[in-house]
Amino acid sequence: MKKHYKILSTLLLPLVSFATVINGGNYNGNNLIPNNGDTLSGTFTNVGNFHVQNGVTVYVFPGTILSVSAQCINIEGTIMGNGAGHIGGPVNPNFSASGITGSGTGGGEGGFHGPCVHGTGGGGGAYGGNGGNSSKHNISSPPLPAMGGTAYGTLGLPAISMGSGGGSGATHCSGAGYGLSGAGGNGGGAVELISSNSVFVSGAIYVNGKNGITGQAETYGGTGGGAGAGGGINISGAAGYVTGILQANGGNGGDGGAGGPYAQAGGGGGGGRIKFSANVCTLGATIQVNGGQPGVGVNSAPAGTAGAVGTINGGTTNCSQSVAIVGPTPVCEGDTSTYYVNTVNGMNNYTWTVPGGSNILTGQGDTLITVLWGSGSGKIYVNAGSSCGNSSLSDSLAVTVNPLPSVSLTLNIDTVCSSAAPIALSGGTPNGGVFSGNGVSGGNFSAVSAGIGTHIITYTYTDGNTCTNSATDEVVVHICAGVNELSSNTSVSIYPNPFHNSSTVTIQNLFVTNGTFEIYDYTGKKIEEGKFYGNTILLNRNNKTAGMYSILIKENNTTIAKAKLIIE
């Protein structure tokens, strides 16, 4: 077998070079991907991936059962097996003769020849059961109708079979004015698809029986041929779905030829058989096994009768054949949101994509994901697939990502004595937000409740899109040792402040002759003291850590000023 190689999904998979007719055989794991117009014949085993692509039509070789056993089966295009089953009865070349019975176990009976114009139409073919009777035992004037094919035989029959052919109509007497009878229609073909993994059919499979041929128009019109029976379809896999079209209908009986009074019609073909394994989901599929309609007799000749309805076995409709993304939209920048789809029969891998700048945190490959949203709007996409690859089942969901509001906070307080009364907080923008943090209640800050130390105050604002953002600032609570209770008209300046190594404190409009100073940390602990003369104090960092400090300035042991120091 000549082979070519083609890169498919990053794997090197061997592909077969097809001729017009592709014969079955052991494919040893190779893929079977026929081209448009190819004909498949016989039994194909050990196939890797059997894929009839969208827009491609392949044909069943007449008179053979097409059987494909593969790891993965995906029918997106069309498998055409109409009339590819058992052959209908041909026209008897002899005049004044009975029709010929169609081939197959349920071939339609050929029409019976009585008096010259009393020939009957051919019976319809059947799927495994009895072919339609041509009423040869009831020649009358006019004769009784030719019968359609019956339903298939017993459940003990093989899984599928080709449809049987219809019988041809009886021929009239020889001579001018006597029309030829119609041939019987061929039965539908048989298609068997067996997957060890998943089987998906979103395209179509047709194995309909062919119509019986209309009798020749003459003074005494010819009798119509019986129709072929519908064929068989068997779809089996560990899992899978069918959403496309499956038909195994019987053909319609041939009409009597226009002309004489007893141009009898043929019977309709019986419906075929379509069978599924239990795990194959058939919800939403179009499945038909209708019996064919009878042909129409001319003048006083009766029509035939319809073929019996065929059978559908197995499969399940307790399943889903579509995916639909469920989750929030719109969202806010920075949100963490959950999205999910329903489980689809035969699918065990769900591939998700989200807009650029957003990330899937958990769940890739599963039916539920968690998304961390960035700043860009866009669509979420999902495709349901299996180890056989992605399917045609997909969905998308448009999501609008709203930006977060711009929020800032500069508190109206930065240092509070531990014994201070509650203070109303302000300084958050936009207006309408909420303050929170240690010691905060109803928009007020309580130093008593918060306790000594540095406290983070949060201002949270929610806009009209329900998007929320926040900002923070600090408040320091000191023991103060009476500092914050002082009332002093003496002002001081400190430069630089904040400072790194040293800073100078200048007392405004006052010359001190017996001055002292004390420095306290944020807990109220005195960490340094000293003396000064005049109106300036030089402060050195020494071993102090970065933070906020208080300085008390005294003259003759009486506090005359206070100030805040910040060391970087």
Q: What is the pLDDT along the chain (568 residues), one digit of tens a residue?
A: 333 322 222 222 333 334 589 999 999 999 999 999 999 999 999 999 999 999 999 999 999 999 999 999 999 999 999 999 999 999 988 877 788 888 888 776 766 665 555 556 666 666 655 555 555 444 555 556 666 666 554 444 456 889 888 888 887 777 677 778 889 999 999 999 999 988 989 999 999 999 999 988 887 778 888 899 999 999 998 888 898 999 999 999 888 888 766 678 888 888 989 999 888 889 889 999 999 998 888 876 767 788 888 889 888 888 877 789 999 999 999 999 999 998 887 788 899 999 999 999 999 999 999 999 999 999 999 998 887 877 777 899 999 999 999 999 999 988 888 888 999 999 999 999 999 999 999 999 999 999 888 899 999 999 999 999 999 999 988 776 433 333 345 788 999 989 999 999 999 888 999 999 999 887 778 899 999 999 999 999 998 998 888 888 999 988 888 888 889 8
Please tell us whether the domain made up of 481-567 is placed in CATH 2.60.40.1220.
yes
Q: Which tokens is 142 given?
A: 């006019």
Count of alpha carbons within 13 Å of 509, Cβ hemisphere only?
3
Q: Which tokens is 218 given?
A: 């003459």
SS3 labels along 459-523: EEEECCCCCEEEEEEEEEEECHHHHHHCCCCCCEEEECCCECCEEEEEECCCCEEEEEEEEECCC
Which pLDDT does position 491 carry in this prediction?
A: 82
Which pLDDT does position 53 carry in this prediction?
A: 94
* Strand 558-567, strand 547-555: pairing: antiparallel
What are the residues facing 316 on neighbouring strands?
281
| pLDDT digits 0-9 by tens, 269-300 | 889 899 998 888 898 899 999 999 988 888 76
Residue 235 CA, distance from chain mean position: 22
Full-model pTM:
0.67
> What 3-state DSSP class applies to 449?
helix
DSSP structural state of residue 326: B
Which pLDDT does position 15 carry in this prediction?
A: 38
Which pLDDT does position 14 carry in this prediction?
A: 35
Q: Which tokens is 187 given?
A: 């039965």
Residue 360 CA, distance from chain mean position: 18
**Domain locations along the chain:** 40-316, 331-402, 408-478, 481-567
Topology classification of domain 331-402 = Immunoglobulin-like (2.60.40)
Query: What does the alpha-carbon distance between residue 371 and residue 379 come to, in Å, rounded to a whole number?
Result: 12
Domain at 408-478, CATH from 2.60.98, 2.60.40, 1.10.490, 1.10.357 = 2.60.40
Query: What does the alpha-carbon distance between residue 335 and residue 339 come to, in Å, rounded to a whole number?
Result: 13
The reply to whether 481-567 shares the fold of 331-402 is yes
Query: What does the alpha-carbon distance between residue 225 and residue 215 come to, in Å, rounded to a whole number?
Result: 7
Residue type, 67: S
| pLDDT digits 0-9 by tens, 298-312 | 876 767 788 888 889
